[in-house]
């Protein structure tokens, strides 16, 4: 099963990281990533650019409204993610608990990644997506 670990932190938690040596942070996170690679569970991992560089597309109206960052009421920023291929949600939780990006204001949300096999296979759009995934080596 695949699970996404979504790295979240409050503005204050990110501000507190300003005192951390960047090379030390990279080494600490690198060791964590290496553990997952050696265990064979890491599928993907990416960090995200500063929220001030992002945009939000709000579909509450027609046409959708696009708003540049930084965002008005940021309670928790989504800072990056990991995709893990593990046997269970409990195993994903155990990996999340080992994250070096921890402390007050940091959280990891864990969500299972659904597979194409969970959708109606007689649907023509699912069939097209399956064919695309097979052609690109994703299945």
Q: pLDDT of 57-66, one tens digit each?
A: 889 999 999 9
Which residues have CB under 8 Å from 106's CB, separation 6+? 7, 8, 9, 13, 99
Mean pLDDT over 126-137 rounds to 95
> Which fold is adopted by the domain 2-57+64-114?
Alpha-Beta Plaits (3.30.70)
**Cα distance between residue 43 and residue 135, in whole Å:** 19
Mean pLDDT over 45-71 rounds to 87
**Cα distance between residue 80 and residue 44, in whole Å:** 11
Q: Is the pLDDT of residue 70 over 80?
A: no
Tens digit of each residue's pLDDT (9 = 90 or more) over 14-34: 888 888 888 998 999 999 999
């Amino acid at each position: 099963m695949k699970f996404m670990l979504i790295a979240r932190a409050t503005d204050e938690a990110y501000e507190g990281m300003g005192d951390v040596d960047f090379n030390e942070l990279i080494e600490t996170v690198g060791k964590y990533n290496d553990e997952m690679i050696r265990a064979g569970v890491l599928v993907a991992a990416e960090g995200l650019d500063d929220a001030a560089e992002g945009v939000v597309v709000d579909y509450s109206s027609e046409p959708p409204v696009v708003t540049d960052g930084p965002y008005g009421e940021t309670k928790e920023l989504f800072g990056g993610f990991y995709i893990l291929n593990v046997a269970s949600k409990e195993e994903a939780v155990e990996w999340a608990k080992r994250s070096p990006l921890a402390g007050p204001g940091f959280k990891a949300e864990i969500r299972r990644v659904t597979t194409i096999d969970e959708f109606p296979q007689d649907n023509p759009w699912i069939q097209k997506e399956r064919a695309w995934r097979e052609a690109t080596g994703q299945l």
